[in-house]
Structure 1
Amino acid sequence: MSLYNISEYKNRPLVNSYPLEKKGKKSDSIAMENGRAVIFTGGLGPKADRVKAVIEEAEITVAADSGWDLAVSMDVVPDYYIGDMDSITDHEGLKALTDERRMIHPVDKDYSDTELSIKFLEERNYRDIVLIGGGGGRIDHLLALTSLFSRTEKPAEWYTAAEHIIYTDENFTFPCKTGQTLSFFSATGDKASVTTRGAKWELNDFKLDAVNYSLSNTAVGTRVEVKVHFGAVLIMINYLSL
């Protein structure tokens, strides 16, 4: 759970290690993947009820700088704050966290606060990472967030104020509403190929790359099936189109 009363909050354990799975009788071990993690990032986010279940399922929540303000607007106190404090407004509320949970970085640095948050989670073996926020605002920030999906350390999903974005490199079926707008892009800019079932304009082994994409398709039912022949795909589901 990630919906907390601030007075109860400081008793939550720090996430400073991850479980290990032993292989046979050997002393060697490999890291097991942890569960879902949520990063709140700056920019416009969805309505709280749209991501309530996602947040409640998360094992850990992280605020990337002004993502703290977005989380607080949803009545969530993140487990950790990572950032340079150049855009957060709720400085007083940040005092709810102990020093170990507040990771302050200089403004002049090589990585964005969201990138640092992803690295923090990856180092603790979280792979199912969901971004919340990041919509609207500066186009360079939007492009920077989108580029995260082409990296080794990447989010699995992203919720903005207008859409739900899903990364997949395997067959995938998702629920939707009739008439909902759907778009499909290559996740990395490299070649990918998809076939759909449940869209108004079905894609059949449709090739995606840096310049070819499927924009403003439409769901004809309550679920869409996507077969990924090769490559990685971003599925963009617009929930303001209804």
Structure 2
Amino acid sequence: MKAFVFLPGTLCDERLWQYQLPEFSKSIVVNLRTQNTLEKMLDSVYEVSFDSFVLVGFSMGGYVAQEFALRYSERVEHLVVMGSSTQGYPPKEQEVITQALPVIRGGLFKGITDRRLREFLHPKSYAKPELRELIHSMAGPDAAQVYLRQLEATLGRRDLSSEIGNIVCPLTAIGGHDDHIVSAESILAFNKLVPNAQVQILEECGHFVPLEQPAVVNEILHGIYQLP
């Protein structure tokens, strides 16, 4: 029975994977909200009890997952990245965050605003108030502190384009056709970088892939689960 280890994105928690966890009884979500360095995040993944596992990462968690698979190849049976590329922090997002840092450091940051959510979600997803509320809720009352720690750990993330082809496990990359944060083009680049990579771009989907298209994501993960 394959084990699944899920890594959330920035300001997300285990609820990001609420549609996936019930599908796989042998699974765990690694909390990436408390660490302020990449090394500490990687250590948290390393400490999971499974000897080897399918590693699934979304957005920031997708970057951490790539770094982990490159460093600890013997632990990863299959790498799945969603809404995450090899190309470092998205430049436009990095610019927005840099401008917002004074507000974040001042403790005034409360999470993603509804206006910003329009950039993250497909219009059909944005029209669902329960989805918007979930994303707001995941940020938590300590959003400013969590965000600062995660930025400190990953804002300077490396471009892994020249290294990702060295991973020894199979790789599946999933992106949203309408993702304005991590473009579909940057996800499709995995086809050129990783031999035999499986890349899927989902229609009517923005950045929050596991929440916007859960049925398709589950189908893909079940296909991986059934591999020998």
Shorter-chain TM-score range: under 0.3
Which of structures 1 and 2 has the larger relative contact order (alpha carbons within 8 angstroms, sep 6+)?
2
TM-score, normalised by the number of residues in structure 1: 0.25
TM-score, normalised by the number of residues in structure 2: 0.27
Q: Which structure has the larger Rg over C-alpha atoms?
A: 1
